[in-house]
Amino acid sequence: MLVLSSPSGAGKTTISRAMLERDSNLTMSVSATTRPKRSSEVDGKDYIFVDEEKFKSMIDGGELLEHANVFGNFYGTPKKPVEEALMAGRDILFDIDWQGTQIIAGDEIAGKNLVSIFILPPNTAELENRLRTRAQDTEEVVQQRMSKAADEMSRYDGYDYVIINDKIELSVEQVQTILAAERLRIGRQIGLHDFVQELMGRE
The span from the CA of 86 to the CA of 110, in Å, is 10
Q: Is the pTM of this model over 0.75?
A: yes
Greater confidence, 99 or 164?
164
> Could you tell me if 120 and 153 are in contact, meaning their C-beta atoms sit under 8 angstroms apart?
yes
Candidates 192, 158, 161; CA nearest to 179 is 161
Burial 121-150 (b: 16+ CB within 10 A, else e): beeeeebbebbeeeeebeeeebeebbeebe
CB distance 28 to 188 below 8 Å: no
Q: Tell me phi and psi for residue 35, to 5 degrees.
A: -75, 155
Give the model's pLDDT for residue 99. Answer: 87
Cα torsion 18, 21, 25, 26 to 10°: value is 40
CATH superfamily of 2-184: P-loop containing nucleotide triphosphate hydrolases (3.40.50.300)
Written as one string, the DSSP assignment of 147-201 is HHHHHHHTTGGGSSEEEE-SSHHHHHHHHHHHHHHHHTSGGGSTTHHHHHHHHHH
Tens digit of each residue's pLDDT (9 = 90 or more) over 113-125: 899 999 999 888 8
- Note the pLDDT of residue 134: 67
Percent pLDDT > 70 in the chain is 97
Alpha helices, DSSP H, located in the chain: 12-22, 52-60, 79-87, 98-105, 124-133, 139-153, 168-183, 192-202
Q: Which of 119, 118, 120, 116 is nearest to 182 (CA)?
A: 116
Domains of the chain, by residue range, sit at 2-184
Using the Cα atoms of residue 134, residue 135, residue 139 and residue 140 in order, give the sign of their dihedral: negative
CB–CB of 48/35 below 8 Å? no
pLDDT at 203 over 70: no
Decide if pLDDT at 139 tops 80.
Answer: no
